[in-house]
Amino acid sequence: MGWKRWLAGIVTGVGALVLGFGAWVVSMGWGAPTPGQVDPAEVVCAADAPPLPRGRPLKVLMWNLQYGGTRKHHFFYDGGPDVHVPEADVRWAVDRIALVIAEQDPDLVILQEVDRGSDRTHRIDELAALLDRLPYGCHAATPYHQVAYVPTPSQQHLGKVDMHLAVLSRYRIDAATRTQLPLLDEPWWRRIFNLRRALLDVSLPIDGGGTLRVFDTHLSAFSKGDGTLDKQVAVLDQRAAEVETRHEPWLLAGDLNALPPGDDASRLGHDAALYAEDTSPVKRLFDRYDAVVPLPQLLGDAQRWRTYIPFGADLPDRVLDYVFVGRAVDTGTVQVLPVLDASDHLPILVEITLP
């Protein structure tokens, strides 16, 4: 009967390995979100925060912060050697970003790439640091790259990553949810460690009744035309259409990692491969909704509206960041702010009114 005990030991050992591997996968952060899954998002709000006003202009600032990495470093995902950011640079970036926001004094701040305890940025909670410097009583946030340890690149591991979408508001936030977007078409072992792009959906009550829905997102980079962006934009379209059908006000802002329809990617040289789709994925949004910068204006005065600066460049060379609104929102002035040092993206400032 010794062979039975031996076999039982083997089965037990294999089972333990499988369970251990599963626990390791979960600890790495690959827990279960599946495309379309909706979960509650973090909401913190002062008890006395007022509702949004009607009939007067509100300022909205949208910005991809490049996790406080500054433009001094050439990061590995762009072909450079850098992985981690010196602590002094991260702290300088947070101060610089807070100063820009304070100078513009927006009512709503919509952010992407906010590190909250990542090794590459010295475990600094950039959201907390910004809130310490800025007068916003309410915020909502959700992670979209949250992994306990990323064992790449080879020259220096990324380590722990915790990167969020965030919305800051001087007005009340009632609720927020996180919707998991479709993932890149890549092997499972890369998905364990890679970003899980998401949509942050924030509800802000309006004085006198109604709700403004604010959608914050950052779509997949390096998809190279594999269809991921089309699937992700379809989710944005569906969510916006649901609100639009009810004639409720909404605003969608984010880094969509796609060129505007009609922009010739070949002018970008080697980077053209990043935008390999025959038709820009964001055409669907331009066709159905109001962009705060209409497409003819976006293409006709391109340099004015470009928002992304490649490493080593002096000026932005492409539009990747967009703001769309529903018919129940009026838009006023729009600016791309020439803040060239804090991030590889420029902030967009837009004025809206809830009529």
Q: What is the pLDDT of residues 41-100, one digit of tens each?
A: 999 999 999 999 999 999 999 999 999 999 999 999 999 999 999 999 999 999 999 999
State pTM to two decimals: 0.93
Predicted confidence band of residue 125 (pLDDT cuts 50, 70, 90): very high
Kindly tell me if the per-residue pLDDT of 16 is higher than 60. Answer: no
Instruction: Please check whether residues 2 and 84 belong to one and the same domain.
Output: no
* Nearest to 195, CA basis, from 221, 229, 215, 216: 221
Instruction: Please check whether residues 18 and 126 belong to one and the same domain.
Output: no
Query: What local confidence, expressed as pLDDT, does residue 354 receive?
Result: 98
**CB contact set of 148 (below 8 Å; sequence gap of 6+):** 27, 28, 29, 160
Instruction: Please check whether residues 4 and 42 belong to one and the same domain.
Output: no
Instruction: Please check whether residues 14 and 143 belong to one and the same domain.
Output: no
Strand pairing report for 108-115 and 58-64: parallel
Kindly tell me if the per-residue pLDDT of 261 is higher than 70. Answer: yes
**Lowest-pLDDT choice from 27-36, 87-96, 144-153, 282-291:** 27-36
Instruction: Please check whether residues 164 and 178 belong to one and the same domain.
Output: yes
Residue-number span of the structural domain to which 20 is assigned: 1-31
Q: What is the DSSP string of 55-71?
A: SS-EEEEEEE-GGG--S
Predicted confidence band of residue 3 (pLDDT cuts 50, 70, 90): low
Task: Provide the token pair at 219.
Answer: 């779509």
Query: What local confidence, expressed as pLDDT, does residue 339 receive?
Result: 98
- Rounded CA gap, 110 and 351, in Å? 13
Instruction: Please check whether residues 226 and 238 belong to one and the same domain.
Output: yes
Strand pairing report for 250-255 and 211-218: parallel
**CB contact set of 283 (below 8 Å; sequence gap of 6+):** 261
pLDDT in tens, 201-224: 999 999 999 999 999 999 999 999
Predicted confidence band of residue 33 (pLDDT cuts 50, 70, 90): confident
Instruction: Please check whether residues 320 and 245 belong to one and the same domain.
Output: yes
Query: What local confidence, expressed as pLDDT, does residue 326 receive?
Result: 98
Q: Domain of 47: which CATH number? A: 3.60.10.10
Query: What local confidence, expressed as pLDDT, does residue 124 receive?
Result: 98
Strand pairing report for 348-353 and 108-115: unpaired
Up-side HSE of residue 235: CA atoms within 13 Å toward CB?
25
Residue pair 63/338 in contact (Cβ under 8 Å)? The answer is no
**161-184: average pLDDT:** 98
Instruction: Please check whether residues 238 and 258 belong to one and the same domain.
Output: yes
Query: What local confidence, expressed as pLDDT, does residue 126 receive?
Result: 99
**21-34: average pLDDT:** 52
Instruction: Please check whether residues 74 and 87 belong to one and the same domain.
Output: yes
pLDDT in tens, 218-247: 999 999 999 999 999 999 999 999 999 999
Residue pair 323/251 in contact (Cβ under 8 Å)? The answer is yes
Kindly tell me if the per-residue pLDDT of 346 is higher than 80. Answer: yes
Task: Provide the token pair at 75.
Answer: 């990061």
Chain centroid offset of residue 3 CA? 56
Instruction: Please check whether residues 15 and 54 belong to one and the same domain.
Output: no
What's the mean per-residue pLDDT of the chain?
A: 93
For the chain, the domain total comes to 2
Query: What local confidence, expressed as pLDDT, does residue 10 receive?
Result: 52
Instruction: Please check whether residues 8 and 90 belong to one and the same domain.
Output: no
Q: Map tokens 């701040």 to a residue.
A: 109
The percentage of residues in the chain with a pLDDT greater than 70, rounded to a whole number, is: 91
Instruction: Please check whether residues 189 and 57 belong to one and the same domain.
Output: yes
- Rounded CA gap, 267 and 317, in Å? 10
